[in-house]
């Protein structure tokens, strides 16, 4: 492969990997919205603390803990380790360590082979980061899914308790 085609292929590969970041971010936003909505709905329907039964505790605690764990996984996926790319002329953190003048000089002085290697190094590192983000998203989704039965049971218990409380308030 000649140098022009090599650089173009490296850039295409980098763009392909970078394109997947938007997918994982949008899915993470949806899971976060569902997690927080489920937590908020539980909190809005919870009876007074003194009226919480043992069954409400047994179903509510796992629901809240699983949803909290899901949110933690989303947080970890949002802020993965960005270390790596030492001496790269493409990786933004490594570029930022240089002065403007030094970056321009080093970038202009590199060979096409060095540039291609740097691009491929960036593809590799972004692939690692993307893999971690997808793994955290997968865990967040699984934890949320496991929380759903506990959440439904807890809401049913809360609704039964709240209905009983409201019916005694309006008796003649």
Task: Supply φ then ψ for residue 79, to 5 degrees.
Answer: -130, 65
Task: Supply φ then ψ for residue 171, to 5 degrees.
Answer: -75, 145
Whole-number pLDDT of residue 71: 98
Q: Which of 50, 46, 74 is nearest to 60 (CA)?
A: 46
What is the pTM (predicted TM-score) of this model?
A: 0.84
103-153 pLDDT, tens per residue?
A: 999 999 999 999 999 999 999 999 999 999 999 999 999 999 999 999 999
What are the residues whose beta carbons fall under 8 Å from the beta carbon of 27, sequence distance 6 or more? 137, 141
CA 34-35-36 angle, to 5 degrees, is 95
Whole-number pLDDT of residue 169: 47
What are the residues whose beta carbons fall under 8 Å from the beta carbon of 62, sequence distance 6 or more? 147, 150
Q: What is the mean pLDDT of the chain?
A: 91
Is the pLDDT at 162 greater than 90? The verdict is no
- What the block records as the tokens of 17 is 């990997």
* Dist CA 36 CA 141 (whole Å): 13
**Mean pLDDT across the stretch 48-72?**
95
* Dist CA 28 CA 71 (whole Å): 10
Q: What percentage of residues in the chain have a pLDDT greater than 90?
A: 76
65-107 pLDDT, tens per residue?
A: 999 999 999 999 998 877 777 889 998 888 999 999 999 999 9
């Amino acid at each position: 492969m000649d140098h022009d085609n090599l650089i173009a292929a490296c850039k295409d590969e980098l763009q392909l990997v970078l394109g997947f970041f938007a997918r994982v971010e949008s899915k993470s936003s949806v899971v976060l919205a569902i997690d927080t909505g489920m937590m908020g709905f539980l909190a809005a329907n919870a009876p007074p603390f003194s009226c919480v039964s043992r069954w409400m505790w047994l179903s509510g605690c796992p629901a809240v803990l699983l949803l909290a764990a899901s949110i933690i996984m989303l947080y970890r996926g949002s802020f993965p380790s960005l270390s790596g790319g030492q001496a790269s002329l493409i990786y933004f953190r490594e570029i930022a360590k240089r002065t403007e003048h030094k970056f321009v000089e080093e970038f202009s002085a590199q060979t096409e082979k060095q540039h291609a290697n740097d691009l491929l190094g960036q593809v590799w590192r972004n692939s690692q980061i993307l893999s971690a983000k997808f793994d955290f998203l997968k865990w967040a989704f699984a934890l949320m899914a496991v929380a759903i039965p506990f959440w439904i049971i807890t809401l049913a218990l809360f609704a039964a308790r709240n209905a009983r409380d409201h019916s005694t308030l309006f008796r003649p």
